[in-house]
Structure 1
Amino acid sequence: MGRKPELPGLVEWAWAWQEEAACAEMDTRLFFHPAGERGAVSEERERAAKRVCAACPVLAQCREYALECAEEYGVWGGLSENDRAGVLRGRRRTARARGARPSPVASTAL
């Protein structure tokens, strides 16, 4: 029998930031809209979620994750689905103007 191949180490460190998140123990329904939610109710839920994010010690890591993975749903790193779509569109435009591919994890300022 041959030698066992080297396996990558544990990757818990890549997700450890989530344990420090302000939302870690909160009800996820605050961050993900239920089916059919619209109007003022939706806007207030999203504002409340963003208030939690604003005080979060890992906001930058969360935001980078959501943008890198093109997270489709919920409030992540203080950005809603629409906010993230706008950031990603802006990155694509900037990259096209520079003639380069966009970096999905570049810092984002809103």
Structure 2
Amino acid sequence: MTQAPRLPGGARKHWMGRDGVACGRPGPDRFFRASGARGEDRAACERAAKDVCALCPVQVACLRHALDVREPHGMWGGLTQEERRALIDDPAALATV
């Protein structure tokens, strides 16, 4: 199994050190699916991460950060990299975040 990428120093410190951040409890590995995950395994990983994000008090700020820096990996603010890319490609949708 592929090891999940580590958050860059600045981003990891910024988000993981905040009180109440939901992703701090399970740790960041849950938010970076294994590169080989496909089908139902991939969907289950994404659902588990989204469930945590849905309860997070900084979900919107996390998503905005990921969009601002064009974060290419992992689940941020409840969206996968593919979902974030689609938002970036649609200026009208991006304006709603």
Q: Measure how far apart 1:25 and its partner are.
A: 2.6
Tell me, in whole angstroms, the C-alpha distance in 2 between the residues paired with 1:31 and 1:85. Answer: 16
The 1:18/1:57 distance shift into structure 2, 3 A limit, reads: farther
Tell me, in whole angstroms, the C-alpha distance in 2 between the residues paired with 1:80 and 1:53. Answer: 11
Q: Measure how far apart 1:27 and its partner are.
A: 3.0
Question: Is the contact made by 1:32 and 1:74 (CA closer than 8 Å) also made in structure 2?
Answer: yes
Q: Measure how far apart 1:30 and its partner are.
A: 1.4
Any idea what SS the aligned residue of 2:73 has?
coil
Question: Is the contact made by 1:73 and 1:81 (CA closer than 8 Å) also made in structure 2?
Answer: yes
Pairwise CA RMSD: 2.0
Bigger radius of gyration among the two: 1
Tell me, in whole angstroms, the C-alpha distance in 1 between the residues paired with 2:36 and 2:84. Answer: 21
TM-score (norm. length: structure 2): 0.74
The 1:33/1:17 distance shift into structure 2, 3 A limit, reads: closer
Matches within 5 A, 1:40-59: 40-59=40-59
1:26 maps to what in 2? 26
Tell me, in whole angstroms, the C-alpha distance in 2 between the residues paired with 1:44 and 1:71. Answer: 22
Tell me, in whole angstroms, the C-alpha distance in 1 between the residues paired with 2:83 and 2:36. Answer: 20
1:87 maps to what in 2? 87
Q: Measure how far apart 1:29 and its partner are.
A: 2.3
Q: Measure how far apart 1:61 and its partner are.
A: 0.7
Number of residue pairs the alignment of both structures matches:
82
The 1:18/1:85 distance shift into structure 2, 3 A limit, reads: farther
Question: Is the contact made by 1:64 and 1:107 (CA closer than 8 Å) also made in structure 2?
Answer: no
Any idea what SS the aligned residue of 2:90 has?
helix
